Structure 1
Amino acid sequence: MTATATPIPESEVEITAMRAQGAGGQNVNKVSSAIHLRFDIGRSSLPEDHKERLLALRDQRITRDGVLVIKAQSHRSQDMNRAEAWGRLQELVDSVAQPPKTRRPTKPTAASKRRRLESKKLRSQVKLLRSATDTS
Protein backbone atom coordinates (compact mmCIF):
# COMPACT_ATOMS: atom_id res chain seq x y z
CA MET A 1 0.00 0.00 0.00
CA THR A 2 1.36 3.42 -0.93
CA ALA A 3 1.47 6.43 1.33
CA THR A 4 -1.30 8.99 1.07
CA ALA A 5 -0.78 11.37 -1.83
CA THR A 6 -2.18 14.57 -0.32
CA PRO A 7 -2.63 14.85 3.45
CA ILE A 8 -5.65 16.91 4.53
CA PRO A 9 -5.07 19.43 7.35
CA GLU A 10 -7.42 19.03 10.32
CA SER A 11 -8.19 22.75 10.25
CA GLU A 12 -9.96 22.35 6.87
CA VAL A 13 -12.38 19.70 8.15
CA GLU A 14 -15.41 20.36 10.34
CA ILE A 15 -16.32 17.35 12.50
CA THR A 16 -19.58 17.17 14.44
CA ALA A 17 -20.72 14.37 16.74
CA MET A 18 -24.41 13.45 16.69
CA ARG A 19 -26.73 10.65 17.63
CA ALA A 20 -26.78 7.80 15.14
CA GLN A 21 -29.90 6.75 13.26
CA GLY A 22 -31.47 3.34 13.01
CA ALA A 23 -31.69 0.39 15.34
CA GLY A 24 -29.50 0.15 18.39
CA GLY A 25 -31.77 0.71 21.35
CA GLN A 26 -30.76 2.74 24.37
CA ASN A 27 -27.15 3.24 23.30
CA VAL A 28 -28.14 4.90 20.01
CA ASN A 29 -30.74 7.07 21.73
CA LYS A 30 -28.44 8.58 24.36
CA VAL A 31 -24.87 8.53 22.98
CA SER A 32 -23.59 10.88 20.27
CA SER A 33 -21.35 8.38 18.53
CA ALA A 34 -22.08 9.20 14.87
CA ILE A 35 -19.70 11.57 13.09
CA HIS A 36 -20.67 14.18 10.50
CA LEU A 37 -17.58 15.31 8.58
CA ARG A 38 -17.77 18.39 6.31
CA PHE A 39 -14.95 19.31 3.90
CA ASP A 40 -15.23 22.44 1.75
CA ILE A 41 -13.47 21.49 -1.47
CA GLY A 42 -13.29 25.03 -2.89
CA ARG A 43 -11.66 26.53 0.21
CA SER A 44 -9.27 23.64 0.82
CA SER A 45 -5.52 23.71 0.27
CA LEU A 46 -5.69 20.90 -2.29
CA PRO A 47 -4.09 21.54 -5.68
CA GLU A 48 -6.47 23.05 -8.25
CA ASP A 49 -6.50 19.94 -10.47
CA HIS A 50 -7.50 17.79 -7.45
CA LYS A 51 -10.32 20.20 -6.64
CA GLU A 52 -11.60 20.14 -10.22
CA ARG A 53 -11.60 16.34 -10.38
CA LEU A 54 -13.31 16.09 -6.96
CA LEU A 55 -16.04 18.53 -7.99
CA ALA A 56 -16.47 16.71 -11.31
CA LEU A 57 -17.29 13.45 -9.51
CA ARG A 58 -20.95 12.51 -9.65
CA ASP A 59 -20.96 11.79 -5.93
CA GLN A 60 -24.14 12.38 -3.94
CA ARG A 61 -22.07 13.31 -0.89
CA ILE A 62 -20.88 16.52 -2.60
CA THR A 63 -23.37 19.38 -2.22
CA ARG A 64 -24.06 22.07 -4.83
CA ASP A 65 -21.86 24.42 -2.82
CA GLY A 66 -18.90 22.06 -3.22
CA VAL A 67 -18.93 20.71 0.33
CA LEU A 68 -18.21 17.02 0.82
CA VAL A 69 -20.34 15.56 3.63
CA ILE A 70 -19.41 12.16 5.07
CA LYS A 71 -21.47 10.49 7.80
CA ALA A 72 -19.98 7.59 9.74
CA GLN A 73 -22.15 5.70 12.22
CA SER A 74 -21.37 2.03 11.79
CA HIS A 75 -19.25 1.71 14.96
CA ARG A 76 -20.33 2.05 18.59
CA SER A 77 -17.49 4.38 19.53
CA GLN A 78 -17.10 7.95 18.38
CA ASP A 79 -13.35 7.54 17.88
CA MET A 80 -13.79 4.62 15.49
CA ASN A 81 -16.46 6.51 13.52
CA ARG A 82 -14.16 9.54 13.34
CA ALA A 83 -11.32 7.37 12.05
CA GLU A 84 -13.63 5.78 9.47
CA ALA A 85 -14.86 9.20 8.26
CA TRP A 86 -11.26 10.47 7.93
CA GLY A 87 -10.30 7.30 6.08
CA ARG A 88 -13.20 7.69 3.62
CA LEU A 89 -12.29 11.35 3.03
CA GLN A 90 -8.64 10.53 2.44
CA GLU A 91 -9.59 7.64 0.13
CA LEU A 92 -11.78 9.93 -1.97
CA VAL A 93 -9.07 12.59 -2.22
CA ASP A 94 -6.46 9.94 -3.11
CA SER A 95 -8.74 8.57 -5.84
CA VAL A 96 -8.58 11.88 -7.72
CA ALA A 97 -4.89 12.51 -7.03
CA GLN A 98 -3.83 10.49 -10.08
CA PRO A 99 -4.88 12.20 -13.33
CA PRO A 100 -6.96 9.97 -15.59
CA LYS A 101 -5.18 8.40 -18.54
CA THR A 102 -6.02 10.02 -21.85
CA ARG A 103 -7.75 7.70 -24.28
CA ARG A 104 -5.93 7.07 -27.53
CA PRO A 105 -8.40 6.31 -30.29
CA THR A 106 -7.74 2.99 -32.00
CA LYS A 107 -9.01 1.45 -35.21
CA PRO A 108 -10.45 -2.05 -35.52
CA THR A 109 -8.05 -4.67 -36.83
CA ALA A 110 -8.52 -6.21 -40.28
CA ALA A 111 -9.43 -9.56 -38.70
CA SER A 112 -12.13 -7.99 -36.50
CA LYS A 113 -13.60 -6.19 -39.53
CA ARG A 114 -13.68 -9.47 -41.45
CA ARG A 115 -15.36 -11.32 -38.53
CA ARG A 116 -17.96 -8.59 -38.22
CA LEU A 117 -18.81 -8.71 -41.94
CA GLU A 118 -19.00 -12.52 -41.88
CA SER A 119 -21.42 -12.47 -38.96
CA LYS A 120 -23.55 -9.88 -40.78
CA LYS A 121 -23.63 -12.08 -43.90
CA LEU A 122 -24.59 -15.12 -41.81
CA ARG A 123 -27.39 -13.20 -40.11
CA SER A 124 -28.60 -11.96 -43.51
CA GLN A 125 -28.69 -15.54 -44.82
CA VAL A 126 -30.71 -16.70 -41.80
CA LYS A 127 -33.28 -13.97 -42.41
CA LEU A 128 -33.40 -14.68 -46.16
CA LEU A 129 -34.00 -18.39 -45.56
CA ARG A 130 -36.70 -17.56 -43.02
CA SER A 131 -38.58 -15.34 -45.47
CA ALA A 132 -38.19 -17.81 -48.37
CA THR A 133 -40.13 -20.54 -46.50
CA ASP A 134 -43.06 -18.19 -45.79
CA THR A 135 -43.98 -17.79 -49.53
CA SER A 136 -46.32 -20.72 -50.07
Structure 2
Amino acid sequence: MATVYVCESVTLDEDELKERFVRSSGPGGQNVNKVSTAVELRFDVGSPALPGEVRVRLLRIAGKRVNEEGVLVIRAERFRTQERNREDARERLFELIREACVVPKRRVKTKPTRASKERRLDSKTRRSSVKRLRTGKPDLG
Protein backbone atom coordinates (compact mmCIF):
# COMPACT_ATOMS: atom_id res chain seq x y z
CA MET A 1 0.00 0.00 0.00
CA ALA A 2 1.71 3.18 -1.25
CA THR A 3 1.00 6.65 0.11
CA VAL A 4 0.89 9.84 -1.92
CA TYR A 5 1.99 13.16 -0.42
CA VAL A 6 -0.39 15.90 -1.58
CA CYS A 7 0.31 18.85 0.75
CA GLU A 8 1.66 19.37 4.26
CA SER A 9 -1.58 18.28 5.95
CA VAL A 10 -2.74 15.58 3.50
CA THR A 11 -1.25 12.23 2.49
CA LEU A 12 -3.48 9.72 0.70
CA ASP A 13 -3.30 5.94 0.46
CA GLU A 14 -3.37 4.52 -3.06
CA ASP A 15 -6.33 2.34 -1.94
CA GLU A 16 -8.50 5.46 -1.51
CA LEU A 17 -8.28 6.23 -5.25
CA LYS A 18 -10.65 4.11 -7.32
CA GLU A 19 -10.02 4.07 -11.06
CA ARG A 20 -12.29 2.83 -13.81
CA PHE A 21 -11.39 2.78 -17.47
CA VAL A 22 -14.17 3.64 -19.91
CA ARG A 23 -14.49 4.43 -23.60
CA SER A 24 -13.30 7.87 -24.49
CA SER A 25 -15.03 10.37 -26.73
CA GLY A 26 -11.74 12.18 -27.28
CA PRO A 27 -8.82 11.47 -29.64
CA GLY A 28 -7.81 7.92 -30.47
CA GLY A 29 -8.20 7.36 -34.19
CA GLN A 30 -9.32 3.82 -35.06
CA ASN A 31 -8.81 2.71 -31.45
CA VAL A 32 -11.43 5.08 -30.06
CA ASN A 33 -14.25 2.53 -30.47
CA LYS A 34 -12.22 -0.47 -29.28
CA VAL A 35 -10.04 0.60 -26.36
CA SER A 36 -11.15 2.03 -23.02
CA THR A 37 -8.65 4.86 -22.62
CA ALA A 38 -10.64 7.39 -20.56
CA VAL A 39 -10.19 7.29 -16.80
CA GLU A 40 -12.88 7.89 -14.21
CA LEU A 41 -11.09 8.59 -10.92
CA ARG A 42 -13.20 8.42 -7.75
CA PHE A 43 -12.20 9.73 -4.35
CA ASP A 44 -14.39 9.67 -1.23
CA VAL A 45 -14.31 13.18 0.22
CA GLY A 46 -15.27 11.72 3.62
CA SER A 47 -11.81 10.15 3.82
CA PRO A 48 -10.10 10.29 7.23
CA ALA A 49 -6.97 11.54 5.43
CA LEU A 50 -8.62 14.94 4.92
CA PRO A 51 -8.81 17.35 7.88
CA GLY A 52 -12.28 18.83 8.44
CA GLU A 53 -11.64 22.35 7.16
CA VAL A 54 -9.85 21.00 4.05
CA ARG A 55 -12.84 18.71 3.38
CA VAL A 56 -15.27 21.66 3.56
CA ARG A 57 -13.17 23.78 1.19
CA LEU A 58 -12.72 20.81 -1.20
CA LEU A 59 -16.49 20.28 -1.37
CA ARG A 60 -16.97 23.96 -2.20
CA ILE A 61 -14.19 24.01 -4.84
CA ALA A 62 -15.21 20.70 -6.49
CA GLY A 63 -18.85 21.75 -6.90
CA LYS A 64 -20.79 19.46 -9.26
CA ARG A 65 -17.95 16.96 -9.48
CA VAL A 66 -18.99 15.61 -6.06
CA ASN A 67 -22.01 13.29 -6.25
CA GLU A 68 -24.70 12.85 -3.59
CA GLU A 69 -22.70 10.06 -1.86
CA GLY A 70 -19.81 12.49 -1.28
CA VAL A 71 -17.57 10.93 -3.93
CA LEU A 72 -15.47 13.26 -6.07
CA VAL A 73 -15.45 12.03 -9.69
CA ILE A 74 -12.81 13.23 -12.16
CA ARG A 75 -13.01 12.09 -15.77
CA ALA A 76 -9.86 12.35 -17.89
CA GLU A 77 -9.95 11.68 -21.62
CA ARG A 78 -7.59 14.30 -22.97
CA PHE A 79 -4.92 11.88 -24.16
CA ARG A 80 -4.85 8.74 -26.33
CA THR A 81 -3.35 6.42 -23.73
CA GLN A 82 -4.70 5.07 -20.46
CA GLU A 83 -1.50 5.89 -18.62
CA ARG A 84 -1.42 9.57 -19.57
CA ASN A 85 -5.13 9.96 -18.79
CA ARG A 86 -4.54 8.24 -15.45
CA GLU A 87 -1.71 10.67 -14.59
CA ASP A 88 -3.85 13.60 -15.73
CA ALA A 89 -6.79 12.57 -13.52
CA ARG A 90 -4.56 12.07 -10.47
CA GLU A 91 -2.79 15.40 -10.97
CA ARG A 92 -6.14 17.21 -11.29
CA LEU A 93 -7.35 15.58 -8.04
CA PHE A 94 -4.14 16.49 -6.20
CA GLU A 95 -4.34 20.07 -7.51
CA LEU A 96 -7.92 20.39 -6.17
CA ILE A 97 -6.80 19.09 -2.76
CA ARG A 98 -3.77 21.44 -2.74
CA GLU A 99 -6.08 24.36 -3.50
CA ALA A 100 -8.36 23.28 -0.63
CA CYS A 101 -5.35 23.14 1.75
CA VAL A 102 -4.74 26.87 1.33
CA VAL A 103 -6.46 28.82 4.11
CA PRO A 104 -8.10 31.92 2.61
CA LYS A 105 -7.08 35.27 4.10
CA ARG A 106 -9.67 37.06 6.22
CA ARG A 107 -10.98 40.24 4.65
CA VAL A 108 -10.18 43.31 6.73
CA LYS A 109 -13.01 45.84 6.69
CA THR A 110 -11.95 49.37 5.83
CA LYS A 111 -13.82 52.66 5.85
CA PRO A 112 -13.86 54.95 2.83
CA THR A 113 -11.76 58.10 3.23
CA ARG A 114 -13.37 61.53 3.45
CA ALA A 115 -11.86 62.47 0.06
CA SER A 116 -13.32 59.37 -1.62
CA LYS A 117 -16.77 60.15 -0.16
CA GLU A 118 -16.52 63.72 -1.47
CA ARG A 119 -15.42 62.52 -4.93
CA ARG A 120 -18.37 60.14 -5.02
CA LEU A 121 -20.85 62.87 -4.04
CA ASP A 122 -19.33 65.33 -6.56
CA SER A 123 -19.65 62.82 -9.39
CA LYS A 124 -23.27 62.11 -8.38
CA THR A 125 -24.03 65.85 -8.40
CA ARG A 126 -22.42 66.29 -11.84
CA ARG A 127 -24.29 63.31 -13.26
CA SER A 128 -27.54 64.61 -11.77
CA SER A 129 -27.10 68.03 -13.37
CA VAL A 130 -26.37 66.45 -16.79
CA LYS A 131 -29.59 64.45 -16.55
CA ARG A 132 -31.54 67.51 -15.36
CA LEU A 133 -30.32 69.46 -18.44
CA ARG A 134 -31.66 66.70 -20.70
CA THR A 135 -35.19 67.07 -19.37
CA GLY A 136 -35.34 70.76 -20.31
CA LYS A 137 -36.02 71.87 -16.74
CA PRO A 138 -33.83 74.76 -15.61
CA ASP A 139 -31.29 74.34 -12.80
CA LEU A 140 -32.91 75.67 -9.63
CA GLY A 141 -29.85 75.41 -7.39
Q: Residues 76 and 85 of structure 2 are in contact (CA less than 8 Å); yes or no, is this contact kept in structure 1?
A: yes
Query: Unaligned 5+ residue runs, structure 1?
Result: none
Confirm whether residue 118 of structure 1 aligns to residue 122 of structure 2: yes
Identity of aligned residues (%): 46
Q: Residues 12 and 44 of structure 1 are in contact (CA less than 8 Å); yes or no, is this contact kept in structure 2?
A: no
Q: Residues 16 and 35 of structure 1 are in contact (CA less than 8 Å); yes or no, is this contact kept in structure 2?
A: yes
TM-score norm. by structure 2 comes to 0.84
Name the CA distance, whole Å, in 2 between partners of 1:80 and 1:49.
31
Q: Residues 40 and 66 of structure 1 are in contact (CA less than 8 Å); yes or no, is this contact kept in structure 2?
A: yes
Q: CA deviation at 1:56?
A: 2.6
Q: CA deviation at 1:132?
A: 3.1
Confirm whether residue 29 of structure 1 aligns to residue 22 of structure 2: no
Structure 1 consecutive aligned stretches of length 4 or more whose deviation exceeds 3 Å = 22-25
Provide the residue aligned with 1:84 in structure 2: 88
Query: Unaligned 5+ residue runs, structure 2?
Result: none
Confirm whether residue 7 of structure 1 aligns to residue 11 of structure 2: yes
Aligned residues: 132
Name the CA distance, whole Å, in 2 between partners of 1:41 and 1:83.
20
| Structure 2 CA distance for partners of 1:64 and 1:79, relative to 1, 3 Å | same
Q: Can you list the C-alpha shifts for 1:80-106, whole angstroms capped at 9, x where unaligned? A: 000000000000000010111111111
Paired residue type of 1:60: K
Paired residue type of 1:19: R
Q: CA deviation at 1:15?
A: 0.5
Paired residue type of 2:47: R
Q: CA deviation at 1:50?
A: 0.7
TM-score norm. by structure 1 comes to 0.87
Paired residue type of 1:37: L
Provide the residue aligned with 1:109 in structure 2: 113
Q: Residues 40 and 75 of structure 2 are in contact (CA less than 8 Å); yes or no, is this contact kept in structure 1?
A: yes
SS of 1:127's equivalent? helix
Provide the residue aligned with 2:74 in structure 1: 70
